[in-house]
Amino acid sequence: MDAEVEHFAQFVAARERALQRTAWLLTGDWALAEDLVQTALARSWPRWERIRRRDDPEIYVRRVMVNTWSTWRRRRWRGERASETVPDSPAPGDVAADLATRMAVRSALGSLTHRQRAVVVLRVFDDLPEAQVAQVLNCAVGTVKSTMARSLAKLREDPRLAGLMEQEAR
Amino acid sequence: MSDTSRQLRDLLDAAVGDPPHTVTVQAVRRRVARRRIIESVAAVLVAVLVAGVGVAVATQAHGSGVANGPRPAAGAPRYYVQQQFGTGPAASTVVRATATGKVTATVRCQPGTSLVQRAIAAATRRTFFLACQTHTGPRGKQVITGSRIYRFHLTAAGRIAGYSLVPGGSLGGLSAGEVTAAANGSEIAVGTLPAGHVSPSESADIMVINTRTGARAVWHSSPAVPGKMALAAGDLSLTADGRELVYLGTPRCIAGHCQPTGNGQEVRALRPAAAGGQLSSSRLLVRQATLGRLASTYLDGAVVSADGSSVDVLKMLSPGQGPTTVSVIKVSAATGRPVRVLYRVTTGNGFSFQTFSSDPSRGYLILVAGPPGGTIPNGYIYHRHLVPLAPADGSNVSYETW
């Protein structure tokens, strides 16, 4: 049991930031992202030994995270949200440019369906192979491919995102 | 990975930035603990719910019988009227609280008149109609000269208020029998015989009275034919709107010597009730033979539902040897076939039957029936059980309604 506790602690310490970043791309909100990661880890922890034995823990946690997010999308209040910190706090660097990028990405991702958004985040941002994305989303690899193609086509149509991508290319 | 994907990844990477907080194992553990507490509470709630449903199902599945367990149904009327056998004060008609059996009022007729047994009926749960007879002559040799139909209301405390003569309710020269009322109180039906009749040589007519206008209509029984059985109408009941009048017809030899006919009872309907005419023109709803072919089957009561779609029939199956079964059966008015058994009890060798009636909604049926001699359960039918009414012993009850 102690070994499990130790392994879980190591996993959380090593992966929580990556998981939170994925969660932000799914939710578009840091508070929600943190909540989502905590929930996914809390759901995974009671089965940690089995997850370690049978599964890749990272894939399992991400699957729980995506499923939980899908459930939240169906159930949660999506209007105004209370927050203990003011969202537009000062930040170092080119604040205006960062904010423009963030808003453009959030808006572009928001135009996708929840499955398209999950595929883009897992495949592009987390760089998971198609087979693993299919495993996380519990669908066929072919579905991941077609969803990915449709998602990219849709994102390319977004003028603000297209402009930013051109800048990145340069 | 394509160029587009690579550009998009860089863009996503730039947009995400760094999380403002760190997710710690401690935070995750706190959440796990909270989840476990919530799950435990939910499990307890589910267990309580399942146990409750289980008990309810077990109670239902246990079948009918006199139940000590069931509590009074929430929707049952708060008061009921009880008439008792006996003479003097013992023969009083009282209003009792359903929950406690406490007498809240005594129902009396005007001085010089007497209340007719079974001639009291409820409408709207708080409004009751009753028949009082006028008579002349010394005590013990009184001759009935006529009847009057009165109406009264019950207050929230079960007291009597607004006692008044019903328009059209002064029935000179007629002896009123049982009374029934529509749930909206617009119409009542009264069984009538000529004053001074000698029962059972005549069969009762049924008078329908509009309680607002006083208009009357009479349904005449068939003229007596010597040697021929005729259906005597009893157990009157009206649908909620007063449009349909239902009665239980029992073959009776009115004159001469008749050949007995087995299982000839019928539940019949008159529509529109306010039209009047001949009872023989009524529509057949239920045949006794449909509910039991044995000669020992007898129908002791019938009440039409509020909408007229069904009739609740009280059936006694009392073979010479073996236990008697008392059943209350819901019968479809459209097909005349049984729909379901509302209540069934075996009373042993023989039975005592006192009364069977319903509240205006027809949702709560009072039944006082049981084994012969000793205590006769007094209660009402609710979910296939007899919920006891107080007082629990109905052996001195001649009639009850609510």
Identity (one letter) of the amino acid at B158? G
Window 119-158 of A: residues touching B by CB (8 A cutoff) are 120-121, 123-125, 127, 152, 155-156
Q: In whole angstroms, give the CA distance from residue B338 to residue B311.
A: 9
Could you tell me the CA-to-CA distances from B131 to A81, B162, B191, B283, B390 in Å, in that order?
70, 16, 10, 27, 25
Which of A111-115, A118-122, B204-208, B225-229 has the weakest average pLDDT?
B225-229
pTM of the model: 0.59
Nearest to B114 by CA among B154, B83, B153: B83
Task: Tell me if B231 sits within 8 A of B248, measured CB to CB.
Answer: no
Interface predicted TM-score (ipTM) of this complex, two decimals:
0.76
> Could you tell me the fold of the domain covering A2-75+93-169?
Butyryl-CoA Dehydrogenase, subunit A; domain 3 (1.20.140)
Whether domain B75-401 has CATH 1.20.1090.10: the reply is no
List per-block mean pLDDT (blocks of 10 residues) for chain B, which spans 402 residues.
78 83 88 84 86 66 45 78 77 90 92 85 90 84 88 93 93 92 93 73 84 95 83 92 94 79 88 93 93 84 95 88 88 94 88 90 92 87 91 91 93
How much helix, strand and coil, in percent to the nearest 5, is found in chain B? Answer: 15, 50, 35
Look up residue A111 and give its DSSP letter.
T
Average of pLDDT values for A100-122?
86
Which segments of chain A does DSSP mark as H helices, in order?
2-27, 30-44, 48-54, 57-75, 95-110, 114-120, 130-137, 141-156, 159-169
Chain A CB contacts of B33 below 8 Å: none
Q: In whole angstroms, give the CA distance from residue B194 to residue B208.
A: 16
Q: Do B9 and A124 touch (CB under 8 A)?
A: yes
Which segments of B328-382 does DSSP mark as H helices, in order?
none
Cβ neighbors of B387 (< 8 A, separation 6 or more) are: B67, B70, B71, B72, B73, B76, B379, B380, B381
Amino acid A75: pLDDT: 64
Q: Do B16 and A38 touch (CB under 8 A)?
A: no
Amino acid B283: pLDDT: 95
| Chain B residue with minimum CA distance to A85 | B20
Could you tell me the CA-to-CA distances from B97 to B103, B159, B252, B379 in Å, in that order?
7, 10, 38, 13
Amino acid B71: pLDDT: 54
What is the DSSP annotation of B111-155? Answer: TTEEEEEEEEEEETTTEEEEEEEEEESSTTS-EEEEEEEEEEEE-
Q: Do A41 and B15 touch (CB under 8 A)?
A: no
How far A79 CA sits from the closest chain B CA (Å)? 22
Average pLDDT of every residue of chain A: 81
Look up residue B242 and give its DSSP letter.
S
Q: Where are the beta strands (DSSP E) in B143-186?
A: 143-154, 160-172, 174-181
Q: In whole angstroms, give the CA distance from residue B365 to residue B243.
A: 21
Q: Is A40 on the interface with B (CB under 8 A)?
A: no
pLDDT digits (tens, 9 = 90+) for A53-106: 877 888 889 989 998 888 887 765 544 454 555 445 445 455 666 677 778 888
Q: In whole angstroms, give the CA distance from residue B83 to residue B51.
A: 41
Question: Which three-class secondary structure state does DSSP give residue A49?
Answer: helix
Exposure string over A8-45, b if 16+ CB within 10 A, otherwise e: beebbeebbeebbbbbbbbbbbbbbbbbbbbbbbbbbb
Domain boundaries in chain A?
2-75+93-169
Q: In whole angstroms, give the CA distance from residue B341 to residue B361.
A: 19
